[in-house]
Each structure stands twice: as C-alpha cells, then as structure tokens.
Amino acid sequence: MEAGDRVRVEKGKAVYEGVLMPSPTGSLVVKLDSGYNVGVRPGEARVTLLSKGRPPSSAPPPARPDPNHPAEDVHSRGRASSPAAPREGLPQVSILSTGGTIASRVDYRTGAVTSQFTAEELRQSIPELEEVARVRAEQVYSILSENMTPQHWVELAQRVAREIEGGARGVVVAHGTDTMAYTASALSLLLETPAPVVLVGSQRSSDRPSSDAALNALGAVRVALADLGEVVAVMHDGMSDEVCAIHRGTRVRKMHTSRRDAFHTIGGEPLGWVEPRSGRIELSPGRRPRGGDLKMRGPLEPRVGLVKFVPGAHPDLLESYRGMRGLVVEGTGLGHVSSSWIAPLAELSRGGMVVVMVSQCLEGRVCDRVYDTGRDLLKAGVVEGEDMLPETAVVKLMWSLGRAKSPEEARALFRQNIAGEYTETSRA
C-alpha cells in the first residue's frame, strides 16, 4: 500500500475509509471523505486496500457543492468539465493571490499542499466566474499569512495600484485568513482607491466538501464590480451557504479559529452582504462609493510593537520595546494599566516613542479621563486609540510614523481618521 491508495482502517469498533496520506512520523494517516484526517499507529489497526490510488487531480470542487456527491467524485467531475472561454465585453477583475488556504490544495496522491493560482484553474473551479467578469489572475506570493511582513503589504499595495491603473474594475486579493485583518488595514491606509479592493480567504480548503473557498471567491469577484471605493474583506457569513458579508478593511477581525463565518465587523454592522450565486448585493449608505483618484499613501515604519497588559505584569517587560519607534498598549477596560507601568511608559514617550492605548475589550472606546490611572497615562503622553482594533492600531502607527518627520507629527496623524479605522461614535 502506498500514499494515494484508498483504504479501510478498522480499529476496535471504529471503521474509517479514505485515502492513505504520506506521513513522516510513521503513523498511518487517512484523509476521510469529509476532509478530516485520522491517524492511527501501525499494528493497532487492520488496514485493507480498497483500490489503488489514481493520478493526482488539480481540479477543486465547484462553487455549488453537490450534497449527493462526496469530495472524491467532485474531483473527477471537475477534471472532466471543460471551461468556457472568457466572455468579451465583461469588465476585468484582477485576482492577486498571496497564498493561504484559499490558494492551497491537497494533492491526494502525495499529500502535499500545493498552491496553484492560474486564471485557467480559477475558471475550472468556479465556472460561474465566466458569467461575471474577465478574470486576470496572478500569484504574487505563495506564503502562509503568518509570514506576511509590512514590506509585503507595501509591495502588495503597489501591485493592486498597478492593476487599477491597468484598467481593472476591481481587484481581489486572495490571502490567508490568520493575518488578513492586518493586510486589510495596511491596504486601507496605503491606498486611496477609486475601485473596490477585496480581500478574500477561506477557512476550509477546497478539497473539503464544506469548503468556503469557491463561494467566497465568487462573492469577492462580484463585490469587486460593485459601487465601492475602499478596501474590504468578503467572507462567508451565517450558517447557510448563501451569503458572504462585506467588511470594512480597518474594522474586520477573525473571531474564530475554524468556523467559516469567523470574520466579523467589530463595533458596527458590515458594509453590506453579497449572495455570490444570485449576484444580489446590499451595500450600506455609509460605504465610500466608487470614484476619485488613485493615490499611494506610504511608507510604513515597521518598528512598532504591541503589548498586552495583564494584572501583575512587571514593568521591566517594557524594556524589551526600547528602540522601537512606536508601541500599542492593549489596556484593560477603558484603557488602563497598573500604576507601576505609568512611569516607564512616560519615560519611553519622553524619549520619542509614540505610545498608543487601545482596549482589550475590542468593542467600545478608550477613555482615559475617568480613572486616576487613565489621567496619569494621558499626562505621560499616551495617545488614546479611540475604538480602533489593536491590530489596526499597530498598522496605523506604522503608517503614521512612516509619514511623519517627528513624534509630534506622528501623534497628530494617528489621531486623524483616514480609512474608517475608528468610528465617530461607539455603540453603547
């Protein structure tokens, strides 16, 4: 038996059927039809060969999952389908891929996770796209999003700008979900855009029947054609397989490790919703509509840290941030740290570091005028981050420091609302 073979594994009363995967640990790893893997130690289970493996397939399931056909059949159906040629006269949408689950696929023969992202592949996996747009696809990076850096954000903003200048009606950025919110904030601040810039990812890879990859991608392409002039994230919403939410790039957050509806707008409602299959789109009047000039607003200063205050945290912890140009502090409640942190923060601030306070509550606004420790923080030069999300505040501080010539100027820039990163009034 070898990787790629279809096997039955019997262990006690449990019986599994699936595809044998390569395993460096010596355990038997079987990918079930549900997409989940089970591992058993050799000798502890009876393994029977059901059929020899077939050649690798690179065609993922279509956007409309067919409940009558499990994942294994979907692959052979996808391979057989011959995609239609792109229709003339449709608007162009550029899809830039950076990697992550949405751009990954498990090769059932070798078990390797590969990232392929050609326009041809997209047409095969999402035939509905042919009706909607002329897709130009390009793989900009092939990385997991935990490997993104501020340098990638700046390059990506430049790549997006080039697509808009080149005539794209909208740009979709396929991205890993883990750090999508940081990239969404960075693109929101770096680009003043006349067209939609839509981040999209997926929580479940396209080889799983419950995958959200194709639905999200189709929704993202539809939103890329909508009346929007800002950076948004389009991700699966609710329990059905019908709707994706459109989140403002500076207000979105991944709130669950594995659920498909993990992405939420914090501190308000999403900017809208899209039904990817029907194409129905609902947009909030509070969005920025299409139009205006394309502008790049860089650069970024990467030397910014984020520290979370916990009860009893020793102030020496702050020493490790010395040398950074900016520090975001996630305080408790309205924006507090213990009294022992105030003198060291004041000293860092006097030394030229811009220190910003945001709240661990995520929902609601920082207000340091209520309690003594808060007032002392303000005297220490700490800037209130309003109701900005901690991740957004980090990127905003990088952006403010990158553009400013002095800490004072950076503080003033940080207080300006550039891309809806804070709301004018927080929900009670």
349 is a contact residue toward ligand DGL (CB under 6 A): no
What string marks each residue from 193 to 232 as x (binds ligand DGL by CB under 6 A) or -? --------x-------------------------------
| DSSP, res 177 | S
Q: Considering only residues 83-112, where is the footprint of ligand DGL by CB under 6 A?
A: 100-101
413/232 Cα distance (integer angstroms) = 22
The whole-angstrom separation of Cα 385 and Cα 265 is 18
CA distances from 238 to 67, 241, 411 (A): 19, 8, 39
Which residues have a Cβ under 8 Å from the Cβ of 333 and sit 6 or more positions away? 359, 360, 361
Assigned token pair, 107: 């090769």
Which residue lies nearer to ligand DGL by CB, 177 or 185? Answer: 177
CB-wise, 147 or 158, nearer to ligand DGL?
A: 147
Cα–Cα distance between 76 and 59 in angstroms, integer? 8
Q: Contact region for ligand DGL (CB under 6 A) — 46-54, 56-64, 144-152, 405-413?
A: 144-152
Known active-site residue 396: no
Minimum CB distance to ligand DGL smaller for 169 or for 236: 236
Closest CA to 207 of 52, 32, 6: 32
Per CB under 6 A, contacts with ligand DGL among 26-45 are none
Question: Per-residue contact track with ligand DGL, 327 to 346, x per CB under 6 A?
Answer: --------------------
Nearer to ligand DGL, 145 or 193 (CB): 145
- Beta-strand pair 263-265/383-384: unpaired
Q: Exactly one of 98, 177, 250, 392 is catalytic; which is it?
A: 177
Among 33, 130, 178, 241, binds ligand DGL (CB under 6 A): 178
- Contacts of the segment 373-376: beta carbons below 8 A, 24+ positions apart: 373/336, 373/337, 373/338, 373/339, 373/342, 374/334, 374/335, 374/336, 376/339, 376/342
Closest separation in Å from C-beta 254 to ligand DGL = 8
Closer to ligand DGL by CB, 260 or 396: give it. Answer: 260
The residue whose Cβ lies closest to ligand DGL is 176
Query: Binding to ligand DGL by residue 145, rule CB under 6 A?
Result: yes
Is 144 one of the binding residues for ligand DGL (CB under 6 A)?
yes
Q: Is 124 in the site for ligand DGL (CB under 6 A)?
A: no
Answer positive or negative: Cα dihedral of 180, 182, 187, 188. positive
Element (H, E) at 390: helix 390-403
Residue 416: both structure tokens together = 């300006």
254 is catalytic: yes
Catalytic residue among 31, 98, 101, 237: 101
Q: Catalytic annotation on 425? A: no
* 178 tagged catalytic: yes
Nearest distance, CB of residue 247 and ligand DGL, angstroms? 16
**What's the DSSP call for residue 69?**
S
- Which residues neighbour 409 within 8 Å (Cβ) at sequence distance 6 or greater? none
* Of 5, 33, 178, 241, catalytic: 178
Nearer residue to ligand DGL within complex by CB, 36 or 167: 36
Least gap, CB of 325 to ligand DGL (angstroms): 27
Minimum distance from residue 213 beta carbon to ligand DGL (Å): 10
Tell me the CB-side half-sphere exposure of residue 133, using CA atoms within 13 A.
Answer: 29
Nearer of residues 100 and 249 to ligand DGL, judged by Cβ: 100
Under the binding rule (CB under 6 A), the answer on residue 60 touching ligand DGL is no
**Options 98, 193, 212, 254, the catalytic residue:** 254
User: What does DSSP assign to residue 133?
Assistant: -
For ligand DGL, which residue of 4, 60, 176, 249 counts as binding (CB under 6 A)? Answer: 176
Residues 225 and 171: their CA atoms lie apart, in Å, by 9
**Closer CB to ligand DGL, residue 212 or residue 387?**
212
DSSP E strands: which ranges in 181-222? 191-192, 197-200
Q: Which residues are marked as active site?
A: 101, 177-178, 254
Residues at the contact surface with ligand DGL, assessed by CB under 6 A: 100-101, 144-146, 176-179, 201
